[in-house]
Amino acid sequence: MTDKLARTVRGRLAAAGCLIVGLAACGGGTVSDSPVASTQTLAFAYFQRCVNPIFLKQLQITLNGVTVTNTCAAAACHNNATGAGGALRIIPTAQTIDVTNPANTPEVIRASDMYKNFYSTQGETIIGSPSLSLLVNKPLVRNVLHGGGQIFASEQDPNVQVIEYWITHPAPQGQNEFSPATYAMFNPADPNTGACIP
């Protein structure tokens, strides 16, 4: 191998290594994170009624030993327009959609801001595995950095339990995110009036 070719190969290998490290740092995960293949999806109705409101709540956030109150959807955090919070993007003004109204077809819902929030949030999960999901690990600062600091003190936090419940209760195999079978995640099983389980 000529000197010039050897330098080119070494340079490209170094660039590829930097790219891999950079991509891992960007998402806050590690190169060893293993993807889990799944044809299932998480429940849209439960997300909009139970999970999305967590992003809008005033929460105590601890960063570098200082505790402040803020929302996850704040301008400097995960706000879709101005946030600096990585891949998770939230549109704080997203309106809820009556999933039981026949006029709200999957196409109509998928064009909504609430669905954009759902889609972005689902991207931070490993369906069925909250312990591997950045949506749980980052706000707990559990084996991963979170630029926004520690949001939840432990898995016992009711917000964490709601998120974990959502991740572990996907729509049934072969059904989409709007499946009425997911209404069992409410008590009573009504996505408009039922209380969020857990």
Q: Which residue has the tokens 């196409």?
A: 107
Which of the four pLDDT bands, split at 50, 70 and 90, describes residue 38? low
Q: pTM higher than 0.75, yes or no?
A: yes
pLDDT score of 8 = 40
Q: Which residues pair with 79 in a beta bridge?
A: 90
Helices and strands: H and E segment counts in the chain:
7, 4
Say what percent of the chain tops pLDDT 90.
61
> Which of 145, 171, 181 is CA-nearest to residue 40?
171
Min mean pLDDT across 20-29, 53-62, 90-99, 139-148 is at 20-29
CA 159 remoteness from chain centre: 13
pLDDT at residue 6, as a whole number: 41
Strands (E), the chain: 59-63, 66-70, 186-187, 195-196
With the CA atoms of 51, 142, 38 and 24 taken in that order, what torsion angle do they form, in degrees rounded to the nearest 10? 110
Contact at 8 Å (CB) between 85 and 65? Answer: no
What residue has token string 């993007």? 89
Quote the pLDDT of residue 86. Answer: 80
Pairwise pLDDT comparison (57 vs 83), residue with the higher score:
57
What are the φ/ψ torsions at residue 173 (nearest 5 degrees)?
A: -50, 130
User: For 110-124, b where at least 16 C-beta lie within 10 A, e where not — what string?
Assistant: eebebbbbbebbbeb
The 10s digit of each residue's pLDDT in 46-82 is 999 999 999 999 998 887 888 889 888 888 888 888 8
CA–CA distance, 158 with 155 (Å, rounded to integer) = 8
